[in-house]
């Protein structure tokens, strides 16, 4: 299915959206002109029958990517649903510091509204709060008040592990907070286990699942080799090496490569994109498309046929472990 309903919002979205992390400095940055060109083209190509979800955050390009989105969609936004995030500082000396206090979140939201040149944000996501903040729940009461004030239509949460999503849904359900509409998870061919309970709960509560990092931050392209000098690569690429260790990462990539060869799948990237939307519980996958040619590659991946046996074999390859 290429068109999905985005949780409680009832909006129809194309199953591929756009992640803009790599439009900022994370993978080296692509600059305003390229970013705007990619965003325009994505919307043109993905919006035939549904909205296109564009995911951003103040953190991406330290506010610049939000500004570019604001500039591009200020006058014509009828085909896009914009989502940004809150809870991380971007000012010098504090970049990426998490802060989910009421004062900071309110200020952060107001700054995003300004940069996005809008009065209301479709979906406002918490940018990876830790589990204690989620369990305490005050932050969801605050998001509900942003909704009542008309500053956001809906809210969601970006998480690192399934338990965080489960706690978020449970808190909102128990406290009759109806604005929670999405959970953003890490989801790709080598990071897809342990979501069963979260998926079930999300489905029962009509909550959308956003799959992020579908290409494992560029690694599911086969373009890196274990012998590469990762010091010369961007922060986002180096982070993956640090997180999983070279040996494990390249061992798993080799296992996946061999498997795809067995089933005559020539493009690991296309497989990765298709994999990220195969599960019926995934509402939208947001590849970090940062070059125009990726748009066509990802669109073609949507139509890739995947053998059930391949998926069974893939399930025997365990997830990457931190």
> Which positions touch ligand NAP (CB under 6 A)?
19-22, 27, 55, 127-128, 158, 184, 212-218, 221, 236, 269, 286-290, 294, 297-298
Burial of 141 (0-12, 13-18, 19+ CB in 10 A): middle
CB nearer to ligand NAP: give 9 or 83: 83
Of residues 77 and 83, the one with the C-beta less far from ligand NAP: 83
Smallest distance from the beta carbon of 115 to ligand NAP, in angstroms? Answer: 16
What stretch of H or E contains 84?
strand 80-86
Asked whether 189 and 163 are in contact (CB, 8 A), the reply is no
Contact 209, 182 (CB under 8 A): yes
Minimum distance from residue 160 beta carbon to ligand NAP (Å): 8
> In the numeric block, which tokens belong to residue 48?
């035939």
Residue 309: CB atoms within 10 Å: 10
CA distance 313 to 235: 32
**C-beta closer to ligand NAP: residue 153 or 213:** 213
Considering the complex, state which of residue 118 and residue 297 has its C-beta at the smaller distance from ligand NAP: 297
From the list 46, 45, 52, 20, the residue with the least C-alpha distance to 35 is 20
Q: Cα(260)–Cα(240) distance, rounded to whole angstroms?
A: 22
Q: Which residue is nearest to ligand NAP (CB)?
A: 288
| 3-state SS, residue 77 | coil
Nearer to ligand NAP, 49 or 293 (CB): 293
Contact (Cβ atoms closer than 8 angstroms) between residue 18 and residue 28: no
Least separation in angstroms between CB 287 and ligand NAP: 4
Report in angstroms how near the CB of residue 224 gets to ligand NAP at its nearest: 9
CB of 39 to ligand NAP, least distance (A): 12
Residue among 192, 238, 241, 190 at smallest CA distance from 216? 190
Query: Of 95 and 312, which has the nearer Cβ to ligand NAP?
Result: 95
Q: How far is the CB of 199 from ligand NAP (least distance, A)?
A: 18
């Amino acid at each position: 299915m290429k068109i999905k309903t985005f949780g409680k919002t009832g909006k129809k979205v194309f199953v591929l959206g756009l992640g803009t992390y790599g439009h900022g400095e994370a993978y080296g940055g692509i600059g305003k002109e390229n970013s705007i060109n990619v965003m325009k083209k994505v919307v043109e190509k993905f919006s035939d029958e549904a909205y296109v979800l564009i995911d951003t955050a103040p953190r991406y390009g330290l506010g610049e990517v939000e500004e570019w989105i604001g500039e591009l969609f200020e006058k014509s936004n009828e085909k896009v649903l914009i989502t940004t995030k809150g809870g991380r500082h971007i000012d010098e000396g504090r970049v990426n510091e998490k802060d989910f206090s009421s004062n900071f979140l309110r200020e952060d939201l107001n700054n995003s509204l300004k940069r996005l040149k809008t009065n209301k944000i479709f979906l406002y996501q918490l940018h990876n709060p830790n589990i204690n903040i989620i369990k305490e729940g005050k932050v969801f009461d605050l998001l509900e008040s942003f909704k009542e004030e008309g500053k956001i239509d809906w809210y969601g949460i970006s998480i690192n592990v399934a338990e965080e999503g489960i706690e978020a849904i449970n808190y909102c359900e128990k406290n009759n907070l109806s604005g929670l509409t999405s959970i953003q998870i890490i989801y790709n061919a080598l990071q897809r286990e342990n979501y069963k309970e979260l998926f079930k709960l999300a489905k029962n509560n009509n909550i959308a699942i956003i799959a992020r990092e579908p290409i494992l931050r560029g690694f599911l392209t086969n373009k890196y080799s274990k012998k590469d000098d990762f010091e010369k690569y961007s922060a986002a690429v180096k982070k993956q090496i640090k997180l999983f260790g070279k040996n494990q990462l390249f061992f798993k990539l080799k296992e996946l490569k061999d498997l795809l060869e067995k089933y005559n799948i020539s493009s690991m990237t296309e497989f990765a994109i298709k994999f990220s939307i195969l599960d019926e519980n995934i509402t939208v996958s947001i590849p970090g498309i940062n070059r125009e040619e990726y748009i066509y590659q990802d669109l073609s991946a949507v139509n890739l046929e995947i053998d059930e046996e391949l998926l069974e074999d893939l399930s025997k390859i365990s997830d990457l472990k931190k």
